[in-house]
Structures are given as C-alpha cells and as structure tokens.
Copies of this chain bind each other. A is one copy, B any other.
Amino acid sequence: MLKATGLRDMVFVSVTKGIENDTLKRMSEVVAEVLGDIPIAVLSGPTIALEVVNGVPTTAVASSLDIDIAKGVQDIFLTESFRVYANSDVVGVELGGALKNIIAIAAGITDGLGFGTNAKAALLTRGLVEIARLGAAMGAKRETFYGLSGLGDLTTTCISPYSRNRWLGEEIGRGKRLKDVLKETEMVVEGVATAQSAFELSKKYRVEMPITAEVYNVLYKNKNPKQAVRDLMTRSPKTESE
C-alpha cells in the first residue's frame, strides 16, 4: 500500500505539533502548502522518546483522512512494545497534540503556586473539555481529544518532570515574567505560541475557553497567576457539559 516509487506514491508522516501563528494552520496544512498534493499522515501520542528507545510499552495513534493510509502507517510502526491505533480524524489528532501544551503550562502554573493534585486533575479534565469544544467547532470529533493524541499525551506532559511546557508554567507560577523564563532556555516551548493561536481561534470560532484565556492573560498580559486561578474558580456555577 505504501510504495515509494515516486513523490505521489509516498506518504508524508508528520510528527510535529503546533498551530502556526497568524495563519492558524495545523502542521499537516503547512506540509501540504510546501509539498502539494501528497498523502499525509500524522503520528502522535504519549511517546517520550527515551522510553520508546528503551523499549518500554508505548502507544501512539496514526492518523490520516484516508483510514487505509492510517492503517498502512499503523502497520509500519507496530511492534511488541509500540502499539499503534488508527484514526481518520486528522484535525482532532493535530489539535489535541498542539492544544494540550496550553493545559500543561496551566498545570505547571499550579505547581509553581504550590497547589496540589486536585487542582492539576481539575485543569486536565476541564482543559480537555474546552479543547474538545474548540475542536468540535473546527470539525474534529470530540472523542479524539479523549484518545492517545489528546488525553494520553496531556497525561505524560502533566506528569513528566521533563516537560518544557509544564516547567515554563511552574516558573511563571513562582512569579517570573515570560521573557525572563524564555531567556533561561534555548529550547522551543511550544505552548507559548500555541496559547496565542488558541486564544485567537477561540475568538474566531466563538468558543468559550476559560483556561486558555487565563493562560494567555498570564503569559501575555502579565496577569497575576493567583488571580487567574481565583477567577477560574469563581466563575458562575456550571453543569459538567458547559
């Protein structure tokens, strides 16, 4: 199925996450812009590289609009320690992988403020609700955000001490300013740019994203993180589906 006899017969597998600022394009859209009409798949999920190398059991999702291409990629990467699931909801897979970094920053902020597990679990859960809400408005399936590329990846990011996004949030929660934290690392902290893109997407699609808005305010408007948490906690009472 996946012959490499020419550019048109190849499948491009994207493993990059993010939403381009200004254009608000997903990574596979950027790839298509450059490479033109070539089948594109996305491989995403809770896959900390060091653990994959060490053969620790890991799962991921291979996604393509054409489920047969997704299954072809699934087939190529499947091993006894790397279990791949197929999924045809590319929009959901890419959005989940990108947007979860905002929630990881928020989780880091609560760590920096000295909060506990309850707060982190709340952010993770309510964060996914608003990400899925935006995704649905953009044509993705809600359930994809609760799959490996969304919830799964978010879990590793929130747990792992190595997550750059969580680390940045923690420094912000301790009272540092964004520009000072960014000076401390040469690595790209994806969630910072993604928070801006997501904030604009939430306005464009008129979707309520309270956590994303507060992360945006803290990062870009120097809002006090404690006040941001307080504002999140004292919103009007909601049902769980709101």
**Residues of A in contact with B (beta carbons under 8 Å apart):** 46-48, 51-52, 54, 56-59, 61, 67, 71, 74-75, 78, 80-81, 83-88, 110, 115-122, 124-126, 128-129, 142-144, 146-148, 151-153, 155-156, 158-160, 229-230, 233-234, 237-242
Contacts and interface: CB of A to CB of B under 8 A. Distances in A.
A194 to B, nearest CB: 20
Given A80-B230, A125-B151, A48 B237 contact: no
A151 B127 CA distance: 12
Given A83-B234, A117-B160, A125-B155, 10 more contacts: A57-B115, A57-B233, A58-B118, A85-B239, A86-B237, A120-B159, A124-B151, A125-B151, A143-B241, A158-B159
Please tell me how many copies of the chain the complex holds: 2
Contact of A46 (B51, B117, B237): B117
Nearest to A85: B240
A17 to B, nearest CB: 15
Nearest to A142: B143
Contact of A86 (B57, B61, B159, B240): B240
Nearest to A92: B240
A231 to B, nearest CB: 11
Contact of A117 (B51, B126, B239): B51
